[in-house]
Amino acid sequence: MEKLKVVCAVILSLGSTSAASLGVVQTEGGAVTGQNIPLGLSRSVDVFKGIPFAAKPGIFEKPKPHPGWEGTLKATKYAKRCLQVSMLQISSFGSEDCLYLNIWVPHGRQVSSDLPVMIWFYGGGFVFGGSMGPNFFNNYLYSGQEVADKGNVIVVSVGYRVGVLGFLSAGDSSLPGNYGLWDQHAAIAWVHRNIRSFGGDPDNITLFGESAGGASVSFQTLSPHNKGLVRRAISQSGVAFCPWALNKTPRKIAEQVAQKVGCPTDDRMVACLKTFDAKTLTMAAPRLVQGSPDHPAVKNLLLSPVVDGDFLPDQPGNLFHNAADIDYLVGVNDMDGHLFTLKDVPSLGKDKETPVEDVKKLLAAYTREKGQAGFDIAFSEYTSSWGSAPTQTAVKKTVVDIGTDYMFLIPTQTAIYLHAANVRLGHTYSYLMSEPSLLAGPGRPYNDWVGADHADDLQYVFGKPFTTPKAYGDRHRDLSGHIIAYWTNFARTGNPNKGNLKVPVIWPEFTSTGHHFLDINGNITDASVNQEMRLRYVRLWASTLPSLPSQSVTVAH
């Protein structure tokens, strides 16, 4: 039997006269070749790794065009990630020379043409991250191969500057900031100019990203600089309204960095900062410190985009006319806040007791601007189903809900409502991912009831249940296949239900009257179509609390 299989495989591979491949591709910078990976019968993917889309950027400068190269560039190795601090923040790694992208092009018997294009932006809080992601059982998390092959789309992943080099801003034109967003924009423009040579359709470009990458996607759709370049966008667990996504006090951070390297903080600050090398500046980022219920760590994520009057000419809420012709698919994981609240509120851990005091402290920290009145209203909303003696599960879930709502879910709803209210040609789709965390359950580190945690969606979007099947069950393969179907159909047609791949149920469009969303997990049925996601809490955070007068806050340190 085994022998017969081998013989058949040999005959079939001879019969298919080797799969199609692009060979040498001409780009504006010069010629490139990639690697052709055969995938079963008459299918293959051409992979190009490390193509420069801009020159090595100057410190605190916008990206500039790449000067080009002689001969043929062998694009078979990922470029280094953009210079960043290590997880422990005691060293840095990566390179200043990091504006490179990777491309996956699927082929059938013939070389592809006019394929939809999906451009991926990684997350990492605007301080970490790379376009290949972490290495996951010997394959990179953000490998575009499964999405490209299953969905018959081109996948591109790009590098952008992070941390001090990507986002330091003095809050004025001496150091405007948003360098990482300009990098992303340069990558989008490069893809628009060059992707036809790779078999892509420059008029069918979809951006997608998660966490800070999802917020990046949101900013790119709101900026007037991408007019005509972007057709559709997917934000997973991050939009411009997330409290960690937009820095409202950039000058403060710039002064902290200046002090750390010994620069004055007056009008000599920027000139002084520019005399330092990239590594020193990167390491001068404010340390991300361990959070506590009174001082949640999310409040320290401050090297992020700013309203600079150029890339973002105004507050995000006033820029949705720029996204009116863009189809937008947006959502969150139902426990996106779990990872973060578990760090801020250690008593949340398995087999520990969470005192109600911890719930109060966390909620007070998030509602601080609205004083006692804001806290009281919020607390009564979140405890309305507690009864007189809430179980530990109820108390703990409430902490996670508060964190999820504040950091991800409510800001995402704000973006969805505004997009739907401003669309002309565009359409809006909303989802909630609710597949339980693989770390939850008996004998595992998380509480049994933990749902979809932050970043849990990534493994399914990138098809890991197919590439590392032993780590997953059939339910996870169903989920991954369905997400890839909805995502790539959306990239192809602007409608997640229409395209090359079958979907389990019709996902209705989000409109200002219907407020539909799809609950995405390993068992998608008619019951997965729902309406008005957490409306009670959307009202609380987006309407009731903002209408209260702001307190003058004395920040305790």
Q: Looking at 97, 172, 201, 478, which residue binds ligand NAG (CB under 6 A)?
A: 201
| CA atoms lying within 13 Å on the CB side of residue 291 | 24
Task: Return the number of other C-beta atoms located less than 10 Å from residue 351's C-beta.
Answer: 6
Catalytic residue (choose from 42, 112, 211, 216) = 211
- The torsion angles phi and psi of 530, rounded to 5 degrees, stand at -130, 175
What is the rounded CA–CA span in Å between residue 321 and residue 329?
Answer: 17
Nearest alpha carbon to residue 197 among 21, 19, 27: 27
Binding range to ligand NAG, per CB under 6 A, among 316-324, 328-336, 448-456, 522-530: 522-530
Q: Which uninterrupted H or E stretch holds 400?
A: helix 392-404
What is the rounded CA–CA span in Å between residue 206 and residue 329?
Answer: 10
From the CB of 492, what's the least distance to ligand NAG, in Å?
5
From the CB of 475, what's the least distance to ligand NAG, in Å?
7
Residue found by looking up tokens 């250690």 in the block: 346
* Residues 6 or more apart whose Cβ sits within 8 Å of residue 408: 237, 238, 242, 332, 333, 336, 337, 454
Q: How many residues contact ligand NAG, by CB under 6 A?
A: 9
Q: Looking at 17, 385, 525, 547, which residue binds ligand NAG (CB under 6 A)?
A: 525
Distances (CA, A) of 146 to 159, 305, 330, 350, 553: 20, 31, 21, 35, 50
Binding range to ligand NAG, per CB under 6 A, among 198-206, 233-241, 270-278, 321-329: 198-206
Closer CB to ligand NAG, residue 401 or residue 519? 519
From the CB of 180, what's the least distance to ligand NAG, in Å?
28
| Catalytic residue list contains 336 | yes
Instruction: Provide DSSP, 469-482.
Output: GGG--HHHHHHHHH
What is the rounded CA–CA span in Å between residue 91 and residue 497?
Answer: 46
| Catalytic residue list contains 515 | no
Burial 440-456 (b: 16+ CB within 10 A, else e): beeeeebbeebbbbbbb
Q: Looking at 27, 152, 169, 204, which residue binds ligand NAG (CB under 6 A)?
A: 204
Binding range to ligand NAG, per CB under 6 A, among 18-26, 176-184, 340-348, 521-529: 521-529
Residue 228 sits in the site that holds ligand NAG (CB under 6 A):
no
Closer CB to ligand NAG, residue 143 or residue 221? 221
Residue 427 sits in the site that holds ligand NAG (CB under 6 A):
no
Which DSSP state fits 116? E
Number of residues written out for the chain: 557
Do residues 12 and 5 touch, judged by C-beta distance below 8 A? no
Closer CB to ligand NAG, residue 525 or residue 547? 525
Closer CB to ligand NAG, residue 384 or residue 525? 525
Q: Which uninterrupted H or E stretch holds 105?
A: strand 100-107
Residue 227 sits in the site that holds ligand NAG (CB under 6 A):
no
Q: Looking at 173, 523, 531, 550, which residue binds ligand NAG (CB under 6 A)?
A: 523
Catalytic residue (choose from 66, 295, 419, 454) = 454
From the CB of 499, what's the least distance to ligand NAG, in Å?
8
| CA atoms lying within 13 Å on the CB side of residue 160 | 33
Binding range to ligand NAG, per CB under 6 A, among 57-65, 201-209, 292-300, 403-411: 201-209
Nearest alpha carbon to residue 204 among 234, 236, 232: 232
From the CB of 89, what's the least distance to ligand NAG, in Å?
42
Q: Looking at 1, 527, 555, 556, which residue binds ligand NAG (CB under 6 A)?
A: 527
From the CB of 433, what's the least distance to ligand NAG, in Å?
16
Closer CB to ligand NAG, residue 247 or residue 437? 437
* Residues 6 or more apart whose Cβ sits within 8 Å of residue 6: none
What is the rounded CA–CA span in Å between residue 328 and residue 427?
Answer: 6
Catalytic residue (choose from 149, 327, 336, 401) = 336
Closer CB to ligand NAG, residue 21 or residue 500? 500
Which three-class secondary structure state does DSSP give residue 326?
coil
- The footprint of ligand NAG on residues 98-117 (CB under 6 A) is 116
Q: Looking at 492, 515, 516, 534, which residue binds ligand NAG (CB under 6 A)?
A: 492
From the CB of 79, what's the least distance to ligand NAG, in Å?
30
Mutual angle of helices 392-404 and 356-366, in 10-degree steps: 10
From the CB of 237, what's the least distance to ligand NAG, in Å?
24
Residues forming contacts to ligand NAG in the complex (CB under 6 A) are 116, 201, 203-204, 492-493, 523, 525, 527
Active site amino acids = 211, 336, 454
